Structure 1
Amino acid sequence: MTAPTFADLGLVPAIVDVLDDLGYETPTPIQASAVPALLDGRDVVGLAQTGTGKTAAFALPILQRLDPARKHTQALVLAPTRELALQVCEAITSYSARIPGIRVLPVYGGQGYGAQLSGLERGAHVVVGTPGRVMDHLDRGSLDLSSLEYLVLDEADEMLAMGFAEDVERILADTPEYKQVALFSATMPRQIRALAKRYLHDPVDIATPAATTSTATVRQRWIQVAHHAKLDALTRILEVESGAGMIVFVRTKRATEELAEKLRSRGFAASAINGDLVQAQRERTIGALRSGALDLLVATDVAARGLDVERISHVVNYDIPHDPEAYVHRVGRTGRAGRTGEAILFVTPRERRLLSAIEKVSGRPVEEMSIPSVEEVNARRAARFAQTITDSMGSAQFHTFRQLVEGYASDHDVAMPDVAAALAVMSAADKQFFLSPDAPKAPPRERPPRAGKSVRATSDGFVPYRIAVGKRHKIGPSSIVGALANEGGLRRSDFGKITIGVEHSIVELPVDVPDAVLDALASTRISGKRIDIRPDSGPPRPKSGKAKGAPRKPRRKSQH
């Protein structure tokens, strides 16, 4: 039986043409089942892993049924993390390339409200957001869902696991009763089933197989590297590893541009590819990679979909994917059609727990490697220098320059090796040829406390932080986890013990939580109140002198 095409699913030519531009050939199982059901107006419950094509499964029918002439928000997609929200937003934007007037807006914690407020005021047909920030906009009155027609709960089990159950319920309560709902989840626990039963009308149940495991022809390795040292680690790998084309995966569109620019400044032929590229520019970039004019492509997951370039020998996960299934699809960009490939994964100390999940999904252990040493880099530079000399001897201009050099050496009584060295200095353009030896590593320093506060780390590596909300504000641990995870990009495993007081609460966070995360949390609100997060120094110490509550010394009676 012939596999269905996207046109067979009932999609209009404008969307089919975009999919063809993006390299989508045939629908995945979830797309083949969900697209016709959603186009028919049915609610859908999909049991699907990330990497099975579920974003297109819900986005394509929504885009086909939207009315660009109406300014109000017609579709809302809820995602558990800002990374997923951005990926979904990029995907929907790319799918709408041939539908004029469609506006898609991401709203998520950790970003200022200005751009989001102005985008909502202009009118966003599709809003893709995390539950906490969507709730904030509903409370502010900046997001109106009274005319919502389509609602998608993406990775519903992850949203509930992160403590967003209450927010999701409140958002659903703010939407019209009769709207089309699509719920996608990797697992179907009782709570998800209850949610579907309560808010979906006669849904179509769809289950798909898990994404395929990575190919056996790809060698998979990982490096533990601090976030600030990633660029240096990558440049050393680029110098030492033998290969042809390479894709470097990062999480965001902005990161593709920034990293590509930094690599170009270090002498590498690199270019960015993301959802903002117009199709003609995307085709030129991929063509340059295919021809060898470009060696490095810095990409997001969404932008690399459908990419098949034979000379890709390496895939580098510069940013570790939060979803192990995404890792499988990244690795699949190399080692195709029986060819061998290399996959390298950067892991920061706080991301070690994701490594085991990746190994489980990929079906193979990932081998640990070390960052190439200065000696290895310098040896490769010397070898390349020697090879360049050998290659240049076959040039058509070799004899012309040889005569010039012989004439210079004779006229100035200079040895030929000295002339050759001077020419090499000219070609180096004052750049240092060899790396300097690595300085000995200093012992790790303890992270200084913020704002002069003393930090009390627990034996489990957590630090207690005080937040200015408690029982009086009618909050629970799930509210705290949901809000902090949303605004700071934290995961469930980043939280230790949570103690709810009357006026304030204590929440334990990792001792190495970056200052940028704490800064992002500074303006977080729970139940409308700013949490004012700060390190907790413990109960107040008694003033010097007699301790509070200590028994008083009996006064000696005077004797007469």
Structure 2
Amino acid sequence: MEKRKFAELGLSPEVLKAVDKMGFEEASPIQTAVIPLLLEGRDVVGQSATGSGKTAAFAIPAIEMVDPKLKRVQALILCPTRELAVQVAEEVNKLAGFKRGVMEVPIYGGQSYERQYRALKAGAQIVIGTPGRVMDHMERGTLAFDNLKMVILDECDRMLDMGFRDDIEHILKTTPPGRQSLFFSATMPKLIRDMISRYTTNPASVEIKAQAQNAPSVDQVYFEVDRRSKVEALTRLIDLHDFRHGIVFCSTKIMVDELNELLHARGYACDRLHGDISQVQRNRVTEKFKRKGFEFLIATDVAARGLDVDDLEVVFNYDLPNDGEDYTHRVGRTGRAGKSGRAFTFVSGREIYKLQGMIRYARLDIRRERIPSLDQVEEARENAFFEKLRRTLEEGKFVKRERMIDRLMEQGYLSTDIASALIHMMNAGAEPKPAAPAPAPSRGGRDDDRRGGGGGGGYERGGDRGERGRGGYPEKEAYDRPGRTGRESGYTTVFFNVGRKQMITPADLVGKIAGATRLPANIVGAIDIKQRHALVDVADDAVDVVLQKLAGVRMKGVTVQPIPAAEAG
């Protein structure tokens, strides 16, 4: 089935703005088919598995249908589990971000009734809930459907398998007869077909079949990583495997720009592609990437479409794609022309459930691993350097320096010490340091033995691939900063012209400073973030470097202009 751009689906400017912010540049097949039908007021029966992008297919029309001035429940979305209810509610919240007055509330077992009741009383128009808890609120008189315009059953077959048939029947009987209905189910047994015939009117049918789209020549791995640790996780994996040619996919244009800056600051050769870049510039970047004029292309899905490169070593899903089809499209860019490839995917928090849906939908062969430790990266660097040195010795293609070595040995230096000093110099003076503790993994409600390690504390590299120095800062020490109670001894307070308005966090400031200066993160002391600026205590001997390296760097779309706080008045 064809895909269309969201701008072609007749959506409001507010929803299009939210869609653009979320990085949805193009509607998936299920979204392309379902959204126009629901906007026309039709009842719809959709047969599609989790992972096809169906949440936005029903969430967008529900948001468009809501009257913001009417503080009553107008849309009901039934889900089989509280995990899915929360996930759907989060997506509705993002899609309704620019629709003033539109509120949603998830209601499910395990959360207090009082909190849910307050949200309903405050005027939430979109309710996302499990059948049991929806029934409880109905019986308590805290949930009424007098103004209901749309009811959506998500994963209907799964709800019936879990024994919710009677609850669903009761809820549907209570809803107004003129309301719009949408049934989503991966399968269509007779029981569901009977419900459809009784509770819908002339429904349109849409079927998106799950297809095995796996790339057999691509080794696929996913990592559960805390969002703020993704950059360090990415650089560790690049350094461990010594990748030199790959694509990093991000979901939004803003994320592409930010990651491009962060990788440049760490010495990686990269460039970017997204929808705001002119076609002339896109062509230039694409041709340069094909010639291996730089190592990593950071791009959104649409911007990278049509890019044909046969020898990519790796694809990184820095942000999880929207659906299983986009995932396989990304991953299929490596492992071409009879060569093997690798694909690494980062998952944060509840995204693990979305990834599991994609795995079922596209029948993906993808395994979970942990982010490598600093010791593993250090060992890989040493092994790579050892092999390079051994090959050079075996080939004998080097100029011998007996005279210089003899002079040093005459002064009492051992040959092993001379060789060690040379290796030390070649590695930019990096000294082995204690391994940083593993950063916090993604918190998705999963037990520790199933979680992946995060990124945190990583390597930074110089301009040459063989000259990597260690950043050496543990994630906890780098990001868990105390609030400022006055300037710390040995530190100077620096004024940054970014703050809460730009949604700046201590992690953003520490990461940007450490990346741009290539200094350890412990040069940063206490941080105080205000609405329009931030005050950061910087070690006295590092202030000049911070002021010089951070001047002109962009953070969250703002050009940073750091100055000593004493000069900021």
TM-score by length of 2: 0.50
C-alpha deviation, 1:183, in angstroms: 0.7
> Please, which of 215, 234, 254 is the counterpart of residue 284 of structure 1?
254
What is the deviation of 1:381? 5.2
> How many corresponding residue pairs?
366
1:187 paired with 2:187, answer yes
| Alignment partner, residue 97 of structure 2 | 97
Between the aligned partners of 2:300 and 2:104, the Cα distance in structure 1 is 20
State how far apart, in whole Å, the 1-side matches of 2:300 and 2:186 are: 20
Say whether 1:125 aligns with 2:119.
Answer: no
Task: Provide, for residues 474-518 of structure 1, a one-character-per-residue CA deviation record: whole Å limited to 9, x for no partner.
Answer: xxxxxxxxxxxxxxxxxxxxxxxxxxxxxxxxxxxxxxxxxxxxx
Cα distance in 2 for partners of 1:429, 1:72 equals 64
Instruction: Decide whether the 8 Å contact of 1:146 with 1:175 is kept in 2.
Output: yes
Unaligned runs of 5+ in 1: 249-272, 275-281, 296-303, 348-353, 388-412, 437-560
What is the aligned partner in structure 2 of residue 50 from structure 1? Answer: 50
Verify the 8 A CA contact 2:50 2:357 in the aligned structure 1. no
User: Is the contact made by 1:108 and 1:133 (CA closer than 8 Å) also made in structure 2?
Assistant: yes
Cα 1:220–1:146, aligned 2, differ >3 Å: closer, same or farther? same
Shift of 1:127: 1.3
Q: CA deviation at 1:177?
A: 2.4
User: Mapping of 1:288-437 within 5 angstroms?
Assistant: 288-291=258-261, 292-293=263-264, 313-315=314-316, 329-330=326-327, 332-336=329-333, 342-343=342-343, 362=362, 365-366=365-366, 376-380=376-380, 382=382, 432-433=434-435
Aligned to 2:141: 141
Report if the CA contact (8 A) 1:378-1:434 is conserved.
no
Name the CA distance, whole Å, in 1 between partners of 2:64 and 2:384: 54
Residues 141-189 of structure 1 deviation map (CA, whole Å, 9 limit, x = unaligned): 3322232111110111111122222222232233222211111111111
- The alpha carbon displacement at 1:373 in A equals 8.4
Q: Percent identity?
A: 36
Asked if the contact 1:71/1:124 (under 8 Å) is kept, the reply is yes
1:443 is matched with: none
SS at match of 1:147: coil
Is 1:60 the equivalent of 2:60?
A: yes
Alpha carbons 1:52, 1:211 under 8 Å: kept? no
Which residue in the other structure is 1:167 paired with? 167
Distance 1:191 1:384, change over 3 A: same
Distance 1:434 1:97 in 2: 38
Q: Which consecutive unaligned segments of at least 5 residues does structure 2 have?
A: 269-298, 348-353, 388-412, 439-569
Q: Per the alignment, do residues 429 and 96 of structure 1 end up closer, same or farther by CA in structure 2, a change over 3 Å counting?
A: farther
Letter in 2 for 1:192: I
Q: 1:305 to 1:211 in 2, by over 3 A?
A: farther
Following superposition, the deviation at residue 342 of structure 1 comes to 2.9
Equivalent pair of 2:93/2:104 in contact (CA under 8 Å): yes
State the Cα distance separating 1:234 from its structure 2 match: 10
What does residue range 452-491 of structure 1 map to in structure 2 within 5 Å?
none
* Mapped partners of 1:205, 1:361: distance in 2: 19
1:210 aligns with 2:210: yes
Provide Cα deviations, 1:228-262, integer angstroms capped at 9, x if missing partner: xx9999998676344488989xxxxxxxxxxxxxx
Give 2:461's aligned residue: none
**Structure 1 length-normalised TM:** 0.51
Deviation of 1:429 after TM superposition, in Å, equals 10
Contact 1:28 1:53 in 2 (8 A): yes
Paired with 1:4 and 1:236, the residues of 2 have a C-alpha distance of 37
The two structures, once aligned, show a CA RMSD in angstroms of: 5.6
Distance change (3 Å), C-alpha of 1:240 and 1:27:
closer
For 1:213, give the aligned amino acid.
Q
Q: Distance in 2 between matches of 1:194 and 1:72?
A: 30
How far apart are 1:330 and its partner, in Å? 4.4
Conserved in 2, the CA contact under 8 Å of 1:247 and 1:312? no
2:213, 2:328 within 8 Å by CA — same for their partners in 1? no
Change (3 A) 1:175 1:429: farther
Q: CA deviation at 1:4?
A: 5.5
Q: Which amino acid aligns with 2:38?
A: L
| Shift in alpha-carbon separation, 1:359–1:23, aligned structure 2, 3 A | closer
**Once the two structures are superposed, what CA deviation does each residue of 1:269-308 show, in whole Å capped at 9, x if it has no partner?**
xxxx99xxxxxxx54322122453589xxxxxxxx99586
Aligned to 1:157: 157
* Distance in 1, Cα, partners of 2:83 & 2:122: 24
